[in-house]
Structure 1
Amino acid sequence: MTEQPDYEKTYDEFWKEIVERPDGTLDLDQLKRELADYRMVLREVGEVYCHVTGGQISKPHTAAATVIAVADDRVQEIVAEAIAERLGEVP
């Protein structure tokens, strides 16, 4: 038996119960609602990524580990700048 492609597995494990009726037919209205929600999430996540990374990342499909690393670096930069300013090292 061949293994299901990832997208098929994701559909079966997550989306199927959400977008199909009990008889197995597609609930088009529900699918449209889910797609609208997904579009909103993509838009909002991009804005958050851009904000927390100081404009370095805006693509919503960027791996979480990458966003976290860049955001952590950005926080360290902000802290270093604040410390330097506090010590009078920055004009």
Structure 2
Amino acid sequence: MLATAPPFPASGLLEPTSNVYDRRTIMLRLQLIAIGAALLASSALAASEYYVEHAPGMKACSVAEKKPDGKKTIAVGGGHKTKAEAEAAMKASPDCGY
């Protein structure tokens, strides 16, 4: 009679008691993947804020996607969700000279 190969490797990687395919290990990996995906999505969504910036000594303002540093340009008000909201806030601000 011919000997057949076992259906699983002899190293025990696929056995239920193995650490590689343990249910806890799989759940932990899935949770880490979900947390990583959530962090990537939240950082991508947070990048879509617009700010009205004002250069000291000038009456001109502009709309920027990054928050002004406070040294070269100063933020007028807070962040806005859309560019149109930021432009409306810029026109309504007395600091911008409109």
TM-score, with structure 2 as normaliser = 0.36
User: Which protein is richer in strand relative to its size?
Assistant: 2
TM-score, with structure 1 as normaliser = 0.39
User: Which protein is richer in helix relative to its size?
Assistant: 1
